[in-house]
Structure 1
Amino acid sequence: MVPRLAFVCVLSCLAMAGCASKPPSGLEASRTAYVPVADGQSLRGRDQADEPPFSTFRNAPGKRSSGALAGRTLKVSSISEIRLRDKEVILTFDDGPMPGKTDKVLDILDQYGVNATFLMVGQMARSYPAVAARVVNHGHSIGGHTYNHANLANAGNSRALTDIAAGNAAIAKATGTEVGFFRFPYLAHTGALRRAVAERGQVILDVDIDSKDYFTSSPATIAARTMARVRAKRKGIILMHDIHKRTAAMLPSLLKQLKDGGYKVVALQYRRSRMPEVLVSAGNAGTKSRQM
């Protein structure tokens, strides 16, 4: 039996504002605690509350839809380059990979012919490297989300950057791919930390539309709530989580509504603009060197 993630959800919801090219004015995210894993061990756990069962989706391997929902591809080296047109959205999934759940999300995205960005937790990628690699093999972009989903706002730059680097290293090892994007857990950050991450060459992804799929709601409720925010904002980066059954269960409805409404899903690709600066050691936050 495949072990599952051990975590406890403590919900926190704070208001957000701004567009995809600007940091949000507040925080709006779930509180999820991840239990560190020893070498060679996997993660176990359960969602805090019972969730509805998956809908069933059967797709021929590698078969994709006509792609009517798929929009353009943006190759970006900074968040300022993410400039969406009216009725364009970007799909993002945090906190995985999770066996079964991430796999289901990937199958649904294939069915609708669209690509997303997966912001992975380092210890999850380390525990489930085959699932992490499958995300890349299906053509999706990846990003970091720290090693163990820590709140970095009050951690101090040295400790925070070390945690981010550890997460990126685990993800890169599992996927064999450069980790070009990053999202702060709980969207909690400081201006100095944002600048430091950008200097390391990563594109920070903020959030415009929070699906709030971390709340125990029905798939229909999550899809309707998300679409209501999409219609209100008309464009933006959508936050979801590939660790919840309810997210995969609601995803076909959300994608169908986006397609029927004339929206396009924009794919992100990371474009390196220069060599990043990296921290030499946790104990020497002021010293930097060029990554080889």
Structure 2
Amino acid sequence: MTEIQEPRAVVVALTDVAVHRRTTGQEVILDGITWTVRSGEHWALLGANGAGKSTLLRLAGAVMYPTAGTVEVLGDRLGRVDMRELRARVGLVSAAQKVPLDATAHTIVLTGATGTVQPLWRKYDAATRERAHVLLAELGCKELADRRFGDCSGGQRARILICRALMADPSLLLLDEPFNALDLPSREDLVDALHRLAADRAGLATVTVTHHVEELPPSTTHAFLLKEGRELASGPVDGVLTQDNMTVCFGRPIRVSRHDGRWYARSGR
């Protein structure tokens, strides 16, 4: 007898969303976006520069409101909920995040428990401090606990910031170009860390903004291609990251292949 699986919970739901630039009210950043992310799904968000990827991620992270349409994050609709409280339930990792470079990796992770830049020492009990150590070990950074964040490599910093985002035990983790400026070994360390994270946390949903399919871990389940603010294709990853879709998305012939669960792309010219 076939076991019937329960439908996964909806984590993010955008319905007919549009975003216009505020200064003019005319320039369209996003238009007609309908998108659903469910628990346990791992999405890749790709598109050329200016396609609207960062704006879409800001909507999913409850950082901004749409010009039109509805956005629901973790069951709450933007405009009907305290955005600060909602953001506290979403994990966000971005190279642009401001954290004290002279603080240790363990301290940086601790600040994720309070959602602050500087540590609030009185807020961190023994269990919270131990949780920070556990997360560093989970992401392969145990030996970095006492190292200054500023002395860590780009790949190490990315993994430490993921630990920080996980301190609040979010159901949704948003990764805004986490591979930016990483060398090859650092990129592979981060790919491995994200793959393990997906395996260890069955209910966690992730959305990763990237320019390169080579940066996607094998655990990627879905992909969303944006072109000039509109959806070009979205859904299960194998049906989206095709040669035809990527060629249209980036405006030049692109060959896509997959080996050992990883994707590779190169221009056909």
Q: TM-score, normalised by structure 1?
A: 0.31
When Rg is computed on C-alpha atoms for both structures, the one with the higher figure is 2
Greater relative CO (CA pairs within 8 A, separation 6+): 1
Bigger share in strand: 2
Q: TM-score, normalised by structure 2?
A: 0.33
